[in-house]
Structure 1
Amino acid sequence: MMTGRTFHLEIVTPKKVLYASEVQSFRVPGYVGSFQILYNHTPLLSLITVGELKIVDADGNDIRFATSGGFVDVKDNTVMLLAETAERADEIDVPRAQVAYDKSKRRLVEKRFETDVERTRLALERARNRLKVASRAGKVPTGSS
């Protein structure tokens, strides 16, 4: 365990606290690109977008989450990420994510008048992200992008 160079991280959704522990680093998907938070990071409040959360825990292990957005608050070596949704990579239901991806893609191709295009694009982006994060964690081969 690395001593003195860790900070406290909490990942919270409206339903529950998903993660709370000391970590070495935390990478989040910002609107203009991902950024990394380390020990003694300057105070920050930022929106995040659909993407991957990557944690290096106090023991040096990589932990990944898929998120659909939210915001992150950094202050005094404490980081709070409030996410609309977040799912640990090793808990992603890959077949369900693939069905959501295929359904959203099909709806965009069909271009039916009742389709809410923006909502469908967002659903496609979230499903693609879940599959990508699961793949990076070794759960599935890439191929749905």
Structure 2
Amino acid sequence: MSLQISILTPERPFWNGQAEEIILPTETGEMGVLKNHAPIITGLDVGAMLIRSNDDRQWRSYAIMGGFALVKQNVVTILANEAQSSENIDPEEAKNAFETAKTNLEKAEGVKEKVEANFAYKRAKARYQVVKALKKI
């Protein structure tokens, strides 16, 4: 028995499948889930999510743009604001967007501008982490 994982976004079901392990970007840090995990509901932060599949035991990476995760009886249901697979992200574009967002965050002045720049930075960082993770894995 393994984990049954469903990732849902407002537009469509994003991914369904079986996995051995999943690492989620939660509001309080990364959280790993293996089979027979205790039931939990957690908020998801903007970040990289990793899934180790049953088939080839390879890690797959996804950029998650916040949401919630429910873990119960070896079923993981993820309600994400947005999700993107590493295969659909151009590494060079992700790197450039990350560097631009980092510069914009450093230059931001005023509360509103800093909040918006921080959110753009977190999104760009998640996308860049996902393509970097693909190279490491």
TM-score (normalizing by structure 2): 0.86
Partner of 2:77: 80
Query: Given the alignment of the two structures, is residue 69 of structure 1 paired with residue 63 of structure 2, yes or no?
Result: no
For residues 112 and 34 of structure 1, the distance between their equivalents in structure 2, rounded to whole angstroms, comes to: 30
TM-aligned CA deviation for residue 22 of structure 1: 1.1
RMSD over aligned Cα, in angstroms? 2.1
Determine which of 32, 35, 41 is the counterpart of 1:39. Answer: 35
Query: Given the alignment of the two structures, is residue 23 of structure 1 paired with residue 19 of structure 2, yes or no?
Result: yes
TM-aligned CA deviation for residue 105 of structure 1: 3.3
For residues 26 and 109 of structure 2, the distance between their equivalents in structure 1, rounded to whole angstroms, comes to: 32
Structure 1 or 2, whichever has the larger Rg, is 1
For residues 115 and 45 of structure 1, the distance between their equivalents in structure 2, rounded to whole angstroms, comes to: 30
In the TM superposition, 1:65-144 aligns within 5 A as: 65-111=62-108, 116-138=113-135
Partner of 1:12: 8
Residue ranges of structure 2 left out of the alignment (5+ in a row):
none
Residues matched between the structures, number? 135
- Please say if residues 47 and 125 of structure 2, whose CA atoms lie closer than 8 Å, have aligned partners that are also in contact: no
More strand by share: 2
Of structures 1 and 2, the one with the larger relative CO (CA 8 A, separation 6+) is 2
TM-aligned CA deviation for residue 109 of structure 1: 4.2
The SS at the match of 2:78 is strand
TM-aligned CA deviation for residue 69 of structure 1: 1.0
Residue ranges of structure 1 left out of the alignment (5+ in a row):
140-145
Identity of aligned residues (%): 27
TM-aligned CA deviation for residue 107 of structure 1: 3.1
For residues 82 and 20 of structure 1, the distance between their equivalents in structure 2, rounded to whole angstroms, comes to: 12
TM-score (normalizing by structure 1): 0.81
More helix by share: 2
- Please say if residues 47 and 66 of structure 2, whose CA atoms lie closer than 8 Å, have aligned partners that are also in contact: yes
Code of the aligned partner of 1:68: M
